[in-house]
A and B are shown apart, each in its own frame.
Chain A
Amino acid sequence: MKIETGRRSFFDHPQVQLTLVRFREFRREPEAVFWVFVFPILLAAGLGIAFRNRPADVLKTGAENAQLASALRTEKSLAVEVMSRAAGERGLRTGRIVLLAVAGPSGGVVYRYDDTNPDGRTARLLAERGILRAAGVRDPAPESDSLVREPGSRYIDFLIPGLVGLNLMGSGMWGMGFAIVDARRRNLLKRLVATPMSRAEYLLSFLFSRLALLFVEVAVLVGFGVAVFGTPLRGSLWELAVLCILSAFCFSALGLLTASRVRTIEAVSGLMNFVMLPMWIFSGVFFSAERFPAAVQPFIQALPLTAVANMLRANMIEGARLTQVSGDLAIISAWLVVSFFVALRLFRWR
């Protein structure tokens, strides 16, 4: 048998081979491809459609008699129907109408509506204006509307950067954690350290493959937002790339830490969810983190996903420079450095 020695081609370098293995394993795992590429798009599309900005709905109201009905009809946002009091009560109970106007004592009007329903309260205000206008009351001051519907201030614009952050967290942590625990469970890690393989090259292969996948997954999600919803990209794309890379490495380090000792898939799944759940809830991906009480804000702002979502929104929506998000950058860098070194200390190759 012929023994080869000396220099070999680029593809024979262990770093290249290890990184290729990462790609192959990812590509041949259809579930992973779905969660990383398809799921975020489905989520963005679903939420984007559910929360899309529409012309304000016409509110359905009932009026007990024709006189009340004609007064209410002076409000364009109300759809008014004349109905008996009994039919009106039934309509209120079933949600067919949100407000019923009935004749009150001494020529007045009584509004029947559920004050916990925002539509009911809105209808109440509109109905009052209609009644007053019909009674000849003039507006005391001139008023006009200026509608805010431009890109950058809509829910979908808030959502897309958050979803990018969420995706970076999910694929970073699962990509690292699952692969490492699976290799440990199979005794494959132990087999690899019985070869002359460099342990640093093994860990670096995760970062290299992450870099390439990261580019694709961010491009797909942001591209979808831009193409379908017209999401703005007001910041520098280079700086956006820097933010994404740093975020991805931060979550990979967190994944490495989570997976540093675990031997079973079940255990690592539980641990991953335990680590990620607070961020799913508190980090302001789907709604602003500011809504939580002030007492827990220091905790929420220190979570890596909160910092990532803040940075990405600042870049994409406000066009902020790196220097303007230095606080969040510091939080991410701290998580990255601390997680990575603690993980290396704890890591078990066997």
Chain B
Amino acid sequence: MVNGGVALRLRGLRKTYGDVVAVDGIDLQTSTGECFALLGPNGAGKTTTIEICEGLLDPDAGTVELLGLNWASDARRLRQRLGVQLQETQLADKLTVEETLHLFRSFYERGPAVADVVAMVQLEEKTRARVGQLSGGQKQRLAIACALVGDPDLLFLDEPTTGLDPQARRQMWQLIEQFKRDGRSIILTTHYMDEAERLSDHVAIMDHGKVIALGTARELIASIGVDHVVEFAIDGALDVAVLEHLKGVRRARAENGSFQLQVTELHLAVPTLLDELDGRGIALTELRTHSATLEDVFVTLTGRHLRED
């Protein structure tokens, strides 16, 4: 497939459930061959957006164009070219991995052999195992395999690693990176900022049904104008306003008894901070620094974290 074409184009997309506005006027465009991530907290409208794209929900307003086609006139052709992994689908427990894939393969006119798909998601040893006996990570890889049996041009992955342990997540990431190398277009939703940073070419940050930031991960992080984040906790009390005037500090916030500084020059900010605390006779109990992430972008834009836990 030629890179650079339009994989997905959304215009003025809107969807409400009663009084709740799930998707509030979204415009997006993604290119073929790229991995595009919708990043946002639970309830941001990511799943509603992706299910409208998948033709499973009708929008109240707006248009959806996929691979130059639309649901109203090309539904049959589109279904043949899309691969879909839904959030929270439990495949039939009583069927084996092989039987499940054979079933899904039968719906598509073209695609790889079942054995090849099994190999791709590394479930060879589980070919004849019942779905009910698979681990969470294996079930999720089977769900991805079901999305691949039609050799899709566009792959939708809705929270592919939610609920997986760290090892299973890393395996899933390697799998998705493999799809990227194969040149497939991918639309991915996630509430893990590291997942979006690692996998996506472009990221749209969503909150309350709107896209609040759009760009590459690097651009988004650069947009908040800070390179690093310093987090610390102290024994005693301190006014946040004091911290904002320290050299190299761009923004300061207090939360749950600890402080967070967004800094432009780490090598200046940390010594200044330590001097300041020392001068006030305040003991430092914790100090951490990390490079700015998409999480920090979200915090800067909304004042909240992606995952409130």
Interface residues of A (CB under 8 A from B): 1-5, 12-14, 16-18, 20-21, 24-25, 28-29, 183, 186-188, 190-191, 193-197, 350
Contacts and interface: CB of A to CB of B under 8 A. Distances in A.
Interface in B79-96: 79-80, 82, 84, 86, 88-92, 94-95
Contacts of A1: 112, 116, 120
B110 A17 contact: no
Q: Ordered nearest first, which 4 A-B pairs have the shortest CB separation?
A: A186-B90, A196-B79, A17-B106, A28-B94
B150 A187 contact: no
- Most chain A CB atoms below 10 A, which of B54, B106, B151: B106
A2 B116 contact: yes
Given A21-B95, A24-B99, A196-B108, 11 more contacts: A3-B110, A4-B110, A5-B110, A17-B106, A21-B99, A186-B92, A194-B56, A194-B84, A196-B76, A196-B79, A196-B80
B86 A194 contact: yes
B86 A25 contact: no
Contacts of A196: 76, 79-80, 107-109, 150
Contacts of A21: 92, 95, 99, 103
A196 B120 CA distance: 22
A186 B89 contact: yes
A195 B104 contact: yes
A21 B109 CA distance: 20
Nearest to A197: B107
Interface of B: 54-56, 76, 79-80, 82, 84, 86, 88-92, 94-95, 99, 102-113, 116, 120, 146, 150-151
Contact of B111 (A3, A17, A18, A193): A3
Nearest to A350: B56
B104 A193 contact: no
A4 B92 contact: no
Contacts of B79: 194-196
Given A24-B94, A196-B76, A196-B150, A17 B103 contact: yes
B99 A3 contact: no
A77 to B, nearest CB: 59
A140 B91 CA distance: 81
21 contacts: A1-B120, A2-B113, A3-B110, A3-B112, A3-B151, A4-B111, A5-B110, A12-B106, A13-B106, A14-B107, A17-B103, A20-B99, A21-B103, A25-B95, A29-B94, A186-B89, A187-B90, A191-B91, A194-B54, A194-B82, A196-B79
Given A5-B110, A12-B106, A195 B89 contact: no
A22 to B, nearest CB: 11
A194 B113 contact: no
A16 B103 CA distance: 9
A193 B71 CA distance: 13
Contacts of B86: 187, 190-191, 194
A314 B235 CA distance: 91
Nearest to B130: A28
B89 to A, nearest CB: 4
Contacts, number: 86
B105 A12 contact: yes
A24 B95 contact: yes
B293 to A, nearest CB: 32
Contacts of A13: 106
A320 to B, nearest CB: 41
Contacts of A24: 94-95, 99
B15 to A, nearest CB: 14
Contact of A188 (B90, B106, B110, B150): B90
A25 B92 contact: yes
Nearest to B55: A194
B112 A4 contact: yes
B92 A191 contact: no
Contacts of A5: 109-110
A183 B90 CA distance: 9
A195 to B, nearest CB: 4
B113 A188 contact: no
Contact of A4 (B54, B103, B113): B113
* Among A13, A14, A183, A191, residue most surrounded by chain B Cβ atoms (within 10 Å): A191
Nearest to B132: A28
B85 to A, nearest CB: 9
A152 B206 CA distance: 74
A333 to B, nearest CB: 33
A190 B107 CA distance: 15
Contact of B84 (A16, A188, A191): A191
A25 B89 contact: no
A12 B106 CA distance: 5
A12 B120 CA distance: 21
Nearest to A14: B106
B303 to A, nearest CB: 34
A25 B106 contact: no
Contacts of B90: 186-188
Contacts of B54: 194
A186 B99 CA distance: 18
Contacts of B111: 3-4
B103 A18 contact: yes
A247 B234 CA distance: 77
A169 B64 CA distance: 45
B105 A190 contact: no
Contacts of B88: 187
